């Protein structure tokens, strides 16, 4: 094998390893991990870097193990069939070993460089995503995203524990925001990916409940989410900047859900809602941080 071929092969392996971690998904998880650290206090730069590093490793490990478990259905879905395992570029056992290595390394990073509470919570999030969501709920019930969404809500707990060494009601409040944000966010995607999920045999809500029922559930969860985001205003936990930001973001999100319900052809509004919901959560947490900085 020539040097050029070896270099190309190494680059391909590196790209596949990065793909296994799902970096685009992890970016939002890291926002909801780091923001609570600044909401809770004034963390040092080095602490934030360790949490970023450990958080990426843990989430990346969970995503890699997820691809190991779902490799049999990934080959049936257009958006996943090019992943390393279904495409034949990587062996399943190698992917599993890689995922476990990342999760183990992440646990060590949190335990040694941050604190034991954050390590325990990060590992709990890993196990919840792998075993409760991926292994148990995903293929059995349309409630998979509702219950399994708790896995994606662990990062605020991890960030809060990293900054304070404990978890209190404020951290649980951030957990609940992400928890209730998840169904309307993911069902907006599921509406447009019904063919893929049907081919793979995954009982997502639009396939089991029907499209209209799923849309109505998206609306109810959005109302709960809005109530949660505005709740701190009643107790003075956040100031005017956060309240105004939350109201604006909530109004746009609610408008997007209503558009999905109202439009006879809802595909484009559902795609828009899915993409905006990603920005919504990032901006909401950013508004909390900015509000706290202003208050200090």
- Mean of the per-residue pLDDT values of the chain: 91
**129, 66 Cβ separation under 8 angstroms:** yes
Q: Name the strand (E) or helix (H) holding 233.
A: helix 211-235
Domain ranges in the chain are: 13-165, 168-296
pLDDT digits (tens, 9 = 90+) for 233-249: 777 788 899 999 999 99
* CATH class of the region 168-296: mainly alpha
Topology annotation, domain 13-165: Tetracycline Repressor; domain 2 (1.10.357)
- Which segment of 83-87, 104-108, 152-156, 286-290 scores lowest on mean pLDDT? 83-87
The whole-number pLDDT of residue 12 equals 76
Q: In terms of C-beta density within 10 A (0-12 exposed, 13-18 middle, 19 or more buried), how is residue 222 classed?
A: buried
Residue-wise burial string across 3-23, b where 16 or more C-beta atoms lie within 10 A, e elsewhere = eeeeeeeeeeeeebbebbbbe
The whole-number pLDDT of residue 2 equals 53
- Which segment of 2-6, 165-169, 250-254 scores lowest on mean pLDDT? 2-6
pLDDT > 70 in the chain, percent = 96
Q: Which residue has the tokens 């034949």?
A: 88
Q: How confident is the model at residue 8 (pLDDT cuts 50, 70, 90)?
A: very low
Q: Which residue has the tokens 């202003």?
A: 294
The whole-number pLDDT of residue 28 equals 92
CA dihedral (35, 288, 27, 248) in degrees, to 10, reads: 180
Q: What is the pTM of this model?
A: 0.92
3-state SS class at 19: helix
């Amino acid at each position: 094998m020539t040097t050029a071929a070896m270099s190309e092969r190494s680059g391909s392996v590196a790209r596949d390893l990065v793909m296994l971690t799902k970096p685009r998904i992890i970016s939002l998880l890291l926002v909801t991990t780091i923001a609570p650290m600044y909401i809770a206090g004034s963390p040092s730069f080095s602490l934030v870097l360790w949490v970023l590093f450990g958080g990426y490793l843990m989430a990346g490990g969970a995503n890699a193990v997820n691809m190991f478990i779902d490799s049999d259905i990934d080959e049936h879905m257009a958006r996943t069939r090019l992943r390393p395992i279904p495409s034949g570029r990587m062996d399943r056992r190698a992917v599993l070993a890689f995922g476990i290595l990342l999760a183990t390394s992440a646990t060590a990073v949190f335990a040694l460089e941050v604190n034991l509470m954050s390590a325990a919570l990060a590992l709990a999030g890993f196990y919840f995503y792998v075993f409760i969501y991926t292994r148990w709920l995903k293929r059995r019930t349309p409630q998979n995203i509702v219950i399994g969404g708790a896995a994606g809500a662990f990062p605020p707990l991890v960030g809060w524990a990293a900054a304070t060494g404990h978890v209190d009601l404020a951290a649980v409040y951030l957990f609940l925001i992400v928890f209730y944000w998840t169904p309307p966010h993911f069902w907006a995607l599921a509406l447009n990916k019904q063919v893929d999920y049907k081919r793979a045999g995954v009982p997502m809500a639009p396939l089991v409940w029907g499209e209209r029922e799923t849309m109505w559930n998206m609306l109810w969860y959005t109302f709960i989410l809005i109530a949660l985001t505005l709740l701190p205003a009643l107790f003075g936990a956040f100031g005017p900047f956060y309240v105004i930001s939350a109201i604006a973001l909530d109004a746009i999100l609610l408008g997007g859900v209503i558009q999905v319900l109202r439009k006879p052809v809802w595909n484009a509004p559902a795609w828009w809602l899915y993409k905006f919901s990603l920005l919504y959560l990032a901006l909401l947490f950013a508004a909390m941080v900015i509000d706290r900085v202003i208050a200090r």
